[in-house]
Amino acid sequence: MFRPRIIPVLLLKGQGLVKSERFGKYRYIGDPINAVKIFNDLEADELVFMDIEASKQGRCISVDFVRNVGEEANMPFAVAGGIRTIGQIREIISAGAEKVVLNTSAGLDPGFIRSAADAFGSSTIVVCLDVRKNWLGKSQAVVMAGTKAIPFSPVEFAKLAEQNGAGELIVQSADRDGTMAGYDFGLLLEISGAVTIPVVALGGAGSLADMEKAVMQSKCSAVAAGSLFVYHGERRGILINYPSKHEKMKLITG
């Protein structure tokens, strides 16, 4: 029976974990390796680590960090942050990551997706499609931590990523990031209806009901979140958490 994957997405800033709101207002959360140990105990399906400063600083996520995660994690994990060469992907996969997530390099040079997929297989290559509304209210595909628009609509870029061999799309609403106000369900449905590869919902999840809606109504293959898995209660106290087996089953049964 199909059960969608439930994926914590953890943001790296310097040596620590942070949580953002609308790609800003960063709050320190804790030590990343400690978080991996907790998610091991909670039996998370998968993890994604995103180095949010790497592209802006012209560097790649640390291979040593990837190796440290690989030595600790019991689950598959993917990493993102400044990945722009085949050599970097090779090092990251050799260090223990199952997948790499491309954003800025894919948006500025979609052909790189094809080169990466040809070299490592589509199952290894994930493209993160960040979407932000401009001052006219029109959705734009953006890169460079949401600061630079690219000349493709979200649907155009999703199709282009699939055509170039991406095995999966993470669709993230920058406007809903960290708000816990619900995913952009319309955007998710539009993208999932335009491609045949798996679509992962990200940006705005505030409850398991939001995740259920993303799967049942927006046709997503997996659901991801940040705030939902690091905060607890109305005051947003820091408490790493993850759905129980019973709660996971609800995503199957509705």
| Catalytic annotation present for 130 | yes
Summarised one tens digit per residue, pLDDT across range 90-129 is: 999 999 999 999 999 999 999 999 999 999 999 999 999 9
User: Above 60 in pLDDT, residue 254?
Assistant: no
- Tens of pLDDT, residue by residue over 124-160, are 999 999 999 998 889 999 999 889 999 999 999 999 9
Among 3.40.190.10, 3.40.228.10, 3.40.50.2000, 3.20.20.70, name the CATH number for the domain at 5-253: 3.20.20.70
d(CA 99, CA 82): 14
Q: Are strands 16-21 and 24-30 parallel, antiparallel or unpaired?
A: antiparallel
What are the sequence ranges of the domains in the chain?
5-253
Catalytic residue among 130, 175, 177, 210: 130
Read off the pLDDT band of 249 (50, 70, 90): confident
Whole-model pTM? 0.95
| DSSP per-residue string spanning 141-191 | EEETTTTEE-SS-HHHHHHHHHHTT-SEEEEEETTTTTT-S---HHHHHHH
